[in-house]
């Protein structure tokens, strides 16, 4: 792996602080659950989101500092999947991951790919190395050939990319397919009824939260900027 433009690692203290934040968020979540006033208690919802954010921040710092990850992830609510009909004790599993990116800064992408190619250049690769700095197609090939997908996800801004939606499905299998069996059509056999769990990341979740906050502000303030009375 190349170390071109590697970002500054978080300090040990920053990783430790992120871990302490997760512990505090866990305590707050448990307290909210113990004191819940109903099925849709907003305090539980807020504590859940705070715990998810703290866990994500810790996971990122842990990976950036020690190249390690946590064994848990807090999923968002998802009502789009049909009822699970797979085996209770799967003998195998399939993990399907999709991450979308926009090429927000093509020149940055080309420059980073050229730097990687120059670091790896040898006498037989001069033609290829010269091409990656002018071809986005070649640049993407160099980028994804050099770095693991998780590293690209954590460093996407360095490469001129902007994150879109992402999703991860863990699907139950009766047994492992034969070697090479699905490589020509790797995503055609995804069965939503066999998805054990899924984890989605999308800006739409943040937009929904922002719209709720704006709605709350409008309820409490009139058009002239004066505070109004909010009815319970």
The tens digit of pLDDT for each residue in 55-97 reads 989 989 998 999 888 877 665 544 556 788 888 888 999 999 9
- The b-or-e profile of 10-28 (16+ CB within 10 A means b, else e) is beeeebeebbebbeebeeb
pLDDT higher at 24 or 212? 24
What is the band of 52 on the pLDDT scale with cuts at 50, 70, 90?
A: confident
Coil, strand or helix: which one is 103?
Answer: strand
- Is pTM beyond 0.75? Reply is no
Q: Tell me: the pLDDT tens digits for 187-228? A: 887 888 898 888 888 887 765 555 555 555 555 544 443 333
pLDDT of residue 215: 55
State the Cα–Cα distance between residues 25 and 54, nearest whole angstrom: 7
Contact (Cβ atoms closer than 8 angstroms) between residue 161 and residue 139: no
Percent of the chain with pLDDT over 70: 76
pLDDT reported for residue 231: 33
- Separation CA 198–CA 214 (nearest Å): 30
DSSP 41-99: -HHHHHHHHHHHHHHHHHHHHHHHHHS---S---PPP---SPPP-S-SS-SEEEEEEEE
SS3 content of the chain, % helix, strand, coil (to 5): 50, 15, 35
Q: Kindly give, in sequence order, each residue whose CB lies less than 8 Å from that of residue 157, ignoring residues fewer than 6 positions away.
A: none
Report the pLDDT value the prediction gives residue 189, as an integer from 0 to 100.
Answer: 77
């Amino acid at each position: 792996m190349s170390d071109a433009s590697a970002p500054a690692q978080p300090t040990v203290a920053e990783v430790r602080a992120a871990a302490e934040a997760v512990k505090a968020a866990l305590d707050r979540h448990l307290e909210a659950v113990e004191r819940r006033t109903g099925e849709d208690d907003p305090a539980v919802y807020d504590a859940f989101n705070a715990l998810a954010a703290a866990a994500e921040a810790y996971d990122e710092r842990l990976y950036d500092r020690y190249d390690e990850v946590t064994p848990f992830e807090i999923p968002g609510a998802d009502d789009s999947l049909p009822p699970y009909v797979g085996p209770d004790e799967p003998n195998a599993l399939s993990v399907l991951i999709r991450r979308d990116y926009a090429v927000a800064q093509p020149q940055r992408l080309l420059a980073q790919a050229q730097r990687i190619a120059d670091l790896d250049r040898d006498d037989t690769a001069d033609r290829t190395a010269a091409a990656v700095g002018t071809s986005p197609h070649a640049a993407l090939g160099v980028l994804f050939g050099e770095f693991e997908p998780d590293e690209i996800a954590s460093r996407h801004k360095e490469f001129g990319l902007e994150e879109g939606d992402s999703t991860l499905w863990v699907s139950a299998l009766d047994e492992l397919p034969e070697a090479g069996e699905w490589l020509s059509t790797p995503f055609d056999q995804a069965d939503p009824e066999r998805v054990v769990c899924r984890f989605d990341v999308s800006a739409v979740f943040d937009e929904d939260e922002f719209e709720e906050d704006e709605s709350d502000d409008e309820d409490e303030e009139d058009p002239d900027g004066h505070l109004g009375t909010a009815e319970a």
